[in-house]
Each structure stands twice: as structure tokens, then as C-alpha cells.
Structure 1
Amino acid sequence: MENVVEEKRLGKKGFTYYSIKWMVFLAGLFVLATGGAFMIKSAFGSATWDVLHIGLSLRSSWSIGLWVQIVGLLMIGLSCWIDRTKPQVGSFINVILIGIFLNLILGLPIYPSVMAWWESLLFLMSGICILGFGVGMYVSTGLGAGPRDGLTIVLAKKTGLSIRLVRTLLEGTALLLGWLLGGPVAAGTFLSVFLIGPVMQASIGFWRKQLAKLDAPEDVEEPGLRVNG
């Protein structure tokens, strides 16, 4: 009888826990896209990979969000091919939704048509903080690595290079290609390289603690049965 009660309790708790994890994951993707849109609209420089996405968009008739999806899916496919593994469902959801969210947020009529320098700076700094916070939200759930994260880890494992070096090479390659295609490179682009990391790290720590609290065992007393007592 005691085991049956415990299984029911853990089953309900597990469902609630994973439901909240998915909510945090999806909300994180939306927050990330919002930060990216703010940086793009600031005109002070977009995030590294968005320089590539914008450059590709300028050279084609396709939207920035669609290029986010195309580049992301190509990177997921490359990672799986190199590592001979199957991708997580969350990884596909990641790239598809970020592309949709980014197009949606960029299309909202919430941006001034002309911005003073301090307004552009405000959009840039807000975008960096929001983007970093969003990345921390979805990463903390472990439901699906972003395409760049997955490819970084796979290449580091296969080449023996450090994760930091591989990520730097990937970021540099994306930035160079984006710039050659006409993507916007400005001071904010390089500023984001140094600032997004600390915001992301703080966000991961915060959300992991929140999710750990939800997953912590509880002392529950069922009618007619004392647990842990």
C-alpha cells in the first residue's frame, strides 16, 4: 500500500515537474528571440550569428527567421552526421520556434522609426541582457541543445580541441561570413560577445535552482499513512 501511494505521488509530481520544464524551455526561446530582435533593431550591431542570418536574408528573398531555421537545421544535421547520433526533439523545436518568434517580434509595431543614440544603446543593452537570460532559461532545462551548442561539443570531442576554442572559431566564421554578405557588424556585436556569457551563466544558475526546488522530495502525509515518520 505504501509503495502504491508513493508511486502515485511521484507520478503526479513528475508530470508537474516536466510540464514546468517545458514551459520554461518554450518561454526561454521566446525571451531569447526577443533579445535578438532588440539587438537587430538597435542598429548598434546584432549578435554574432544574427549577422550571418541578416546577411543571408539581404542576399535572398527569405526572412531572417527562416534563415535562422535553415542554418540551425543544417548544423543539427551536421552534428548528428559527425557524431552518428539522433537529435533531440527539443533541438528541432528550438530552431523552428526561434525563427518563428524572431519574425513575429521583429514585425511588431513597437520600435521607434527613428532612434536617438541613447535609445539605440538602450535597445542594444536590453537585447543583450534579455537574450542571455533567455538562453539560460532553455539551457537549464536540458530538453534540447541549440544547434551551435551541439555542434561545438561534437567538434570538440572529435578534434580534441577545447570547447572554448571550437566555439570561438565557429563564432568567428559566422561573423566573417555574415559581414561578407552585408550583415550589420558594429560595436554592439563585439560587446555582446563579452556580455552575453555572464548573463547566460547567471540565468542558468538561477533557473537550475528553481527547477531543483521543484524536483526536491517532499514530506507528504497521506490520510491514514505517515511518510518519513
Structure 2
Amino acid sequence: MFLSIKNIPKVFWSSESPYNFKPKPTTLFFLILGLILFGIGEGLLIVSTAGNSPWSVLAQGISLNINLSIGIITFLISVVVLFFWIFLNQKPGIGTILNIFIISLMIDLCIKFIPTPDNCYLQILLAIISVLVVGIGCGIYLISNLGPGPRDGLMIGLQKKSNLPIAIIRALLEISVVLIGWYLGGTVGVGTLIFAFGIGPCVALGLFLVNRIFN
């Protein structure tokens, strides 16, 4: 089933190469759609107030130990992750660039227009929905093959080196990040754990569904 997926599937609208700077309209459409969903999912997790994302916990933990803001730490983490791309043979593309802008925009829109539930159970439900939305969005935009974001590129590169299923690689990556961030003093919530343990299977599910629909 979907948990055993090891490779990013190809469909009729997938780009032949991440270096394609004149993609087909359908490829660009699905890239943007996937990134929009990804950003909405990230925004819903923030709105839920059930816990920060794993990488935010890491950034918070590091910032508590050195005299730099969470924003700067987040940027530096992305730079370090991109550096590892060199050893993992990952290729950037327009998707790598659009990843930054579209996801940030959707997070801001979610925070502005979606109210935080006042019930803790609804907050947890919203956190669960956020992970599903991120997973589906991630599956769509990765299959466009126009370049992954920093963390997704790290996931793909590690999968190719280890030959483990994507679900396991992503889960191990996120859980490791949470543990390091928590050890350094970062705040971990229920939503953080839901995201860390759930995002791997949800990304694999997104890849499986898109492949099933279009192939």
C-alpha cells in the first residue's frame, strides 16, 4: 500500500526535469495547487495552537541557546539543509523558489482569516486535518517534479541513499528534529507530535492518491 512507496511517481503532467523553467501550464498549475495546500496545512497547524511544527520547535530550541531570533535560525536551518543537498544529489527548480513565497503567503492568510477553536478537542482535530492537507499538498507538488523545498529535498535524498520507504524517512526526520528541539528547550505540544508522527504517512498517502488518480 501507500506506506511502502519509495519513489516520487511520474504522471502525464510531471516535468521531465527540475531544471525546466518553461513548464507546461498543467504542470505549473499542479505545482502551485500543491504548494497552496501545503501552506494552508501549515497555517492550520499554527491556527490550531495545538503545538508548533517540528522544525519550529528546533528553531526555537536553538534560539534559546544562542543570541539569534527564531526567524534567523529558521533561515539558517534552511541554508544548512540546502547544503546537504550537495551530498544527496538533489536538484532545485522553480518549485524550490515558489515553495518559499506561496507557503509563507498561505500561512499568513490562514492566520488572518481562520479563527482558533476555543475547544481543545477541535484544536486537536484541526491539527490532524492540517497534517492531512500538508501531506496531500506535498504529494501533488512533488509529483510536478519542478524542484522540492529544502526539507522535502532532504527527505527525497535520504530515501534514495537508504532505500527506505518515504513514510519512514519523513517520520524519522521529523521525530529526530522534535527530539533535538525539545532537548534544547523548544516547546512541544500535542499538535507537534501529531505532525511529527503523521506527516510521513500523509505524504506517502498524497503521493499514492495522485498517482492512482492520474495513472
TM-score interval for Structure 1 and Structure 2 normalised by the shorter chain: 0.5 to 0.7
* Paired position in structure 1 for 2:100: 96
Structure having greater relative contact order (Cα 8 Å, sep ≥ 6)? 2
Residue identity opposite 1:20 in structure 2: T
Structure 1 residue aligned with 2:133, among 117, 130, 149? 130
* Paired position in structure 2 for 1:110: 114
* Paired position in structure 2 for 1:188: 191
Residue identity opposite 2:191 in structure 1: G
> Partners of 2:70 and 2:76 in 1: how far apart?
10
Does the Cα contact within 8 Å between 1:47 and 1:192 map onto a contact in 2?
A: yes
> Partners of 1:68 and 1:88 in 2: how far apart?
19
Does the Cα contact within 8 Å between 2:40 and 2:107 map onto a contact in 1?
A: no
> Partners of 2:181 and 2:106 in 1: how far apart?
18
SS of the counterpart of 1:25?
Answer: helix
* Paired position in structure 1 for 2:4: none
Does the Cα contact within 8 Å between 2:48 and 2:126 map onto a contact in 1?
A: yes
CA change 1:206–1:166 in 2 (3 A) is: closer
CA change 1:152–1:137 in 2 (3 A) is: closer
Residue identity opposite 1:132 in structure 2: G
* Paired position in structure 1 for 2:145: 142
- Listed one character per residue, the Cα deviations across residues 50-74 of structure 1 (whole Å, up to 9, x for unaligned) are 32245457774454xx755543333
Does the Cα contact within 8 Å between 1:137 and 1:207 map onto a contact in 2?
A: yes
CA change 1:173–1:156 in 2 (3 A) is: same
Answer with 1 or 2: which has the greater Rg.
1
Structure 2 residue aligned with 1:23, among 19, 23, 29? 29
Name structure 1 gaps, 5 residues minimum.
Answer: 1-15, 213-229
> Partners of 2:73 and 2:126 in 1: how far apart?
23
Question: 1:192 offset after TM fit, Å?
Answer: 2.7
Q: Does 1:121 align with 2:127?
A: no
Q: Does 1:202 align with 2:208?
A: no
* Paired position in structure 1 for 2:40: 34
> Partners of 1:203 and 1:209 in 2: how far apart?
10
Q: TM-score, normalised by structure 2?
A: 0.68
> Partners of 2:152 and 2:133 in 1: how far apart?
19
- Listed one character per residue, the Cα deviations across residues 187-224 of structure 1 (whole Å, up to 9, x for unaligned) are 33223344333433332233335555xxxxxxxxxxxx
CA change 1:168–1:60 in 2 (3 A) is: same
Q: TM-score, normalised by structure 1?
A: 0.64
* Paired position in structure 1 for 2:85: 79
* Paired position in structure 2 for 1:48: 54
Does the Cα contact within 8 Å between 2:90 and 2:153 map onto a contact in 1?
A: no
> Partners of 2:194 and 2:111 in 1: how far apart?
25
> Partners of 1:29 and 1:23 in 2: how far apart?
10
Does the Cα contact within 8 Å between 1:91 and 1:147 map onto a contact in 2?
A: no
CA change 1:126–1:74 in 2 (3 A) is: same
Question: 1:78 offset after TM fit, Å?
Answer: 2.0
- Number of equivalent positions: 192
> Partners of 2:111 and 2:36 in 1: how far apart?
14
Identity of aligned residues (%): 27
Name structure 2 gaps, 5 residues minimum.
Answer: 1-21
Q: Does 1:175 align with 2:175?
A: no
SS of the counterpart of 1:88?
Answer: coil
